[in-house]
Structure 1
Amino acid sequence: MTTTVDRPVPVSDRSILIGGRWRDAVDGRTFDVENPATGEIIARVADGGAADAALALDAASAAQSGWAATSPRDRSVVLRRAFDLVVERTEDLAAVMTAEMGKPLAEARGEVAYAAEFLRWFSEEAVRIAGDHTLTGDGSTRMVVTRVPVGPCVLVTPWNFPLAMGARKIGPAVAAGCTMVFKPAEQTPLTSLALARIFQEAGLPDGVLNIVTTSDAGGVVEPWLRSGVARKLSFTGSTAVGRLLLGQAASTVMRTSMELGGNAPLVVCADADLETALDGAMIAKMRNMGEACTAANRLFVHRSVVDTFAEQLTARMAELTVGDGAHEGVRVGPLIDAEGRAKVQRLVDDAVRRGARILTGGATPEGPGYFYPPTVLVDVPPDAEIVHTEIFGPVAAIITFDDEDEVVRIANDTEWGLVGYVFTRDVDRAFDLGERLEVGMVGLNTGLVSNPAAPFGGVKQSGLGREGGRLGIDEFLEVKYFAVPRRPGRTL
């Protein structure tokens, strides 16, 4: 029996934050936020435009010098307070995420914990920003190297992990001493607004974090990138949009970090522990209903174990409870919108037309909400569109392989290179395959690679730079070098 959790969802037009003040859009426009499980409108938020974007950037610019001058400890304290508040409000934040994005409450609670850890991690990194002091080779000059805030930052986050992606960008920016203009995803602005209010309560000064909610991303973000005032772009989203933003950022030679699309291979070798591989595949495939850039898009399974693996994966997928994520016990919520669901169905239909077989799922259900059943496909041919397209849905596409050289070649035959997964009992084989995969992250006998202490990011068209870990704060810092001549005869 399932129970429903009440959802404390805010309904407010005043959702633009500029200089510490919540306000309506300059032109008074709003847009609606929809619950993808029911189709109901759950909130109305301000629909910002170019005028709001300009005011937000002005506020960030005005606050930059003062915020950069604060002590690392002061910045650390703000982040630690924010961490405590996020943890304290786990249930409320999870309920808001479930209502606007659809993920089940259990996963939403997990995201709250994940997001909070970024705030705690960067609260500790704030006081560890290091430099260097040495001599030139001839001993005539002291070289003092410091690291300073890059300046006002543009943050753009996706809808699939609205709290975690906000925390993963705001955390290092705050720790480094940067001010921000922040555009959350149109589909999931409420979680970002809740996070901004938490930062206000945690003592973040006015103007350090400014938010513009909008249904016109280009009309807000492009002026920021072309302004010459903003000096850093941190974007998570599709590769197509990333390419566009890179072009705009090039006009002012902005620092950029981007976490873009993925087409993750999951390789199950002949000697893999199948229980471990199945556990890992379920996590890598079904986290967030498959709406994750780290999702296992292509499951390469050795011919000697493919029948057993497919049978057992099908059993696990078929038993998952699909429904409104607000009900306790639901494991699979709706997809984000009608367009996203239609794309998943199109990919499944194309694979079947080309010879794939459906073992479970594969058909769009009737009724309200954007639900799609957990689906397993076998005998997926290499020319199927699903092999070359990020699915972003609960579909496991199984591809049989015989030879490790063959699977590496096929796995690398993609423009993306975010993450790969390898399952084998042989340590040498694990590292060999992991090193040969053209990806930025590898899960060895695990389906979960994300951790705030780890550098998250990819290669090829999966992005630039890294978020999280010790490298995460580097994206928000510039290196400054001082040359100091030494007096003759002086020693260190």
Structure 2
Amino acid sequence: MPITEIKRAGLAAAVKVARQRSTAGRFSQRNMATAVDVTAKLTDKSLFKQTALVGAQQVTSSKVFEVTDPATQAVIGTVPDLDVAAVDAAIDTAHDAFVSFRGTSPFERARVLQRWNALMLENIDDLATILTYENGKPLAEAKGEIRYSASFLEWFAGEAPRAYGDVLNTSVSGHRALTIKQPVGVVSVLTPWNFPAAMITRKVSAAVAAGCTVVIKPDAETPYSALALAELARRAGVPDGVLNVVTTKTALAEVGQLMCADERVKKLSFTGSTAVGKLLMAQSSASLKKLSFELGGNAPFIVFDDVDVDEAVAALVACKFRGSGQTCVCANRVLVHTRVYDEFVEKLVRAVSGFTVGNGFADGVTHGPLIHARALDKVTHHVADAVAHGGEIRIGGSKLPGVGKLFFAPTVVANATPAMAVAHEETFGPLAAVFRFETENEALALANDADVGLASYVITNDVRRALRVAESLQFGMVGVNTGIISDCATPFGGVKFSGFGREGSKYGMEEYMVVKTVTLGGMPPYAS
């Protein structure tokens, strides 16, 4: 729908809050037998929200979509399938709230973020349970994500008062210049399903610290973490209208276009595929809003021959198989020096053989399902393609229908070559394809042969080589002798077709601010 045709209906009329019959908690007759009660596992049942949030209103709709547990395919709930008019009203609400919120003290915003952080940690069990239900990752891993998510609230609580400006000397005698950092305005946040809590806090905490207001559109696969976090934000004292959560599935394209083209929205932050990022950038051109994109990856993991192989395998396991390989920064191409190649593959297979795949709520499970059938099909294709090009399956390599519809066995493919699809496409699944190399230059050529550049890794005990290779890798992030690089204190982001902008760290808040220059004339000369 063209933006010029969107009718600016008032919030009450657009969403019909409290005047239409709520569909929260109701499921279609088709799936009634497979529905589960998420709240049965929660201490605070009110954290499981099946309504969108606009201002102070819990928004319902006559049109909903179902959310399923990827481990069991059971329906865990419904949320409103909002149309463009309802999202337009949410933008209006955020726009109105910005008028007052921009003037709040950064110290007050810091205190709100601190309270939000404390509430997340107090409710970690319930938040992790909701996350496991909608995403499928094991409960212990879900708790790890909640802790990671909360760390951004703590970090940006500290950063909020530190939006320093400068006093500048000018070329004109008697003039001085000041720079002031101010919030950019209303921010649209589009988040993915693989980290449904962390991708919210990493973006929103920086925006709130800067003094912005936010409209969040979580992925339709995983809306409940966003809604639970919004409830805790409300309890922490985030003012009404500062944080809004809109849910949609059938109107996704139209809502995306609105968020990009609407001039009330001054900033768009998106995590997702490169193809969608290009589309959003094109749609944002007319409004000239600020953008930050974290897009596709194809991470190389380079293992040199001077390392402890056991340590190298442990680093890869942490990097490659976390989230069943469904992380933006997981290794996609494992490049191992020929001298340690056979030992590395043998020990990697041994480590993978110790995994337990299953429902994330079951004791001892280390790896859960893939998120949907498309993800399962891609892993299946990459494994078949690797075998067709001479790859050898050393462990795994097949679906696990006995475990569930969306489970795939963690897989190691040896003798990988650049001819395989996995060499050029991000798998986003539990497949470790192991390539050989002989020289440093060969490893760098293989690693940099990608049009994306998000994360990369190098394992070596040679300090000079570590620095040399790190500087030569064409990626936004490099992990040296570690498979874990994500941290609230370090800038997260890529280069090339992996996008631009940085999240987290002292740079993260800059993405949500603009610099204003104030020039003062008529300054008196120095006293004699």
Under TM normalisation by the shorter chain, which class is it? over 0.9
Preserved CA contact (<8 Å) 1:13 1:46: no
Match of 2:355 among 295, 303, 320: 320
**What's the counterpart of residue 181 of structure 2?**
147
The 1:205–1:246 alpha-carbon spacing in structure 2 relative to 1, beyond 3 Å, is: same
Structure-1 separation of matches of 2:39 and 2:52: 28
Q: Which residue of 1 aligns with 2:368?
A: 333
Corresponding residue for 2:217? 183
Give the aligned partner of residue 49 of structure 1: 83
Tell me what 2:280 maps to. Answer: 245
Q: Which residue of 2 aligns with 1:484?
A: 520
2:158 alignment counterpart: 124
Residue identity matched to 2:355: L
Identity %: 43
The equivalent of 2:102 in structure 1 is 68
Structure 1's unaligned 5+ residue stretches are none
Contact (CA 8 Å) 1:360, 1:374: kept in 2 or not? yes
SS at match of 2:321: helix
1:147-188 deviations in Å (ceiling 9; x for gaps): 000000000000000000000011001000001111001000
TM-score, with length taken from structure 2:
0.90
- 2:183/2:513 contact within 8 Å kept: yes
Partner of 1:254 in structure 2? 289
The offset of 1:5, in angstroms, is 12
CA distance in 1, matches of 2:384, 2:518: 62
**Aligned residue number for residue 213 of structure 1:** 247
Distance 2:435 2:197 in 1: 34
Deviation at 1:14, TM superposition (A): 4.9
Look up the match of 2:69: 35
Contact 1:5 1:328 in 2 (8 A): no
Cα 1:147/1:333, change in 2 over 3 Å: same
**How far, CA to CA, are the matches of 1:490 and 1:482 in structure 2?**
21
1:472 to 2:508 alignment: yes
Aligned counterpart, 1:98: 132
Deviation at 1:487, TM superposition (A): 3.6
The one-letter code of the counterpart of 2:115 is: R
In the other structure, the counterpart of 2:490 is 454
Q: Which residue of 1 aligns with 2:453?
A: 417
Moved over 4 A (4+): 9-14
Q: Does 1:387 align with 2:426?
A: no
Residue equivalent to 1:162:
196
2:332 to 289, 297, 302: 297
Q: Distance in 2 between matches of 1:451 and 1:141?
A: 42
- What amino acid is aligned across from residue 445 of structure 2 in structure 1? R
CA distance in 2, matches of 1:249, 1:231: 10
Match of 1:265 in 2: 300
State the partner residue of 1:107.
141
Counterpart CA distance in 1 for 2:91 and 2:83 is 12
Task: Work out the CA distance in 2 between the residues paired with 1:487 and 1:174.
Answer: 36
**Local SS of the residue matching 2:85:** helix
Find the partner of 1:283 among 318, 328, 331: 318
Instruction: Return the alpha-carbon distance in structure 2 between the equivalents of residues 82 and 50 of structure 1.
Output: 30
Aligned-pair CA distance for 1:279: 0.9
- TM-score (structure 1 length as normaliser): 0.97
Is the contact made by 1:98 and 1:326 (CA closer than 8 Å) also made in structure 2?
yes
Question: 1:135 Cα shift?
Answer: 2.0
Residue 140 (structure 1) shift: 2.2
Closer/same/farther in 2, CA of residues 5 and 422 from structure 1, 3 Å limit: farther
Q: Which residue of 2 aligns with 1:434?
A: 470
2:266 to 215, 231, 248: 231
Residues 482, 298 of structure 1: CA spacing in aligned structure 2 closer, same or farther, 3 A cutoff? Answer: same
Cα distance, 1:443 vs structure 2? 0.6
Residues 13 and 24 of structure 1 are in contact (CA less than 8 Å); yes or no, is this contact kept in structure 2? no
**Does the Cα contact within 8 Å between 1:105 and 1:328 map onto a contact in 2?**
no
Tell me the alpha carbon deviations over residues 43-93 of structure 1, each in whole angstroms, 9 at most, x when there is no partner.
111111101111000001111110000001110111000000000011000
Which letter maps to 1:476?
A: Y
Counterpart CA distance in 1 for 2:523 and 2:279 is: 52
1:206-230 Cα shifts (integer Å, max 9, x gaps): 1111111111322212112111110
Q: Would you say 1:82 and 2:108 are equivalent positions?
A: no
Kindly indicate whether the alpha-carbon contact (under 8 Å) linking 2:113 and 2:153 is maintained by their aligned counterparts in 1: yes
- Checking the alignment, whether the CA contact within 8 Å between 1:289 and 1:394 is kept in structure 2 is yes
> Structure 1 residues 100, 483: CA separation in 2 closer, same or farther (over 3 Å shift)?
same
Q: Note the alpha carbon deviations across 1:100-132, whole angstroms, 9 max, x for none.
A: 000001110100100000000001101111001
Whether 2:392 is the aligned partner of 1:357: answer yes
Residues 303 and 76 (structure 1), Cα distance of their counterparts in 2 relative to 1, 3 Å cut: same
For residue 441 of structure 2, the aligned residue among 405, 426, 436 is 405
Instruction: Return the alpha-carbon distance in structure 1 between the equivalents of residues 285 and 258 of structure 2.
Output: 13
SS of 1:258 mapped into structure 2: strand
Contact 1:11 1:44 (8 Å CA) reproduced: no
The amino acid that maps onto 1:19 is G
Specify the SS of the correspondent of 2:112.
Answer: helix
Residue 369 of structure 1, CA deviation: 3.3
CA 1:303 to 1:72, structure 2 compared with 1: closer, same or farther past 3 Å?
same
Q: Report the CA distance shift for 1:13/1:276 in structure 2 as closer, same or farther (over 3 A).
A: closer
CA contact (8 A) 2:101 2:212 kept: yes
Q: Helix, strand or coil for the counterpart of 2:284?
A: helix
> Structure 1 residue 286: deviation in Å?
0.8
2:6 alignment counterpart = none
Task: Say what the alpha-carbon RMSD is for the aligned residues.
Answer: 1.6
Q: Cα distance, 1:339 vs. partner?
A: 1.1
In structure 1, C-alpha distance between the alignment counterparts of 2:520 and 2:149, rounded to whole Å: 43
Q: How far apart, in 2, do the equivalents of 1:445 and 1:11 lie?
A: 39
Displacement after TM superposition at 1:138 (Å): 3.7
Gaps of 5+ in 2: 1-37
Partner of 2:16: none
Following the alignment from structure 1 to structure 2, what is the Cα–Cα distance between the partners of residues 177 and 377? 49
Aligned partner of 1:400: which letter?
R
Alpha-carbon distance between aligned partners in 1 of 2:178 and 2:135, rounded to the nearest angstrom: 48
1:353-396 CA-partner distances (Å, limit 9, x unpaired): 11000000001122433111110000112110011111111110
Give the 3 Å change call, closer, same or farther, for CA 269–142 of structure 1 in structure 2. Answer: same
**In the alignment, is residue 133 of structure 1 matched against residue 167 of structure 2?**
yes
Q: 3-state SS of the aligned residue for 2:41?
A: coil
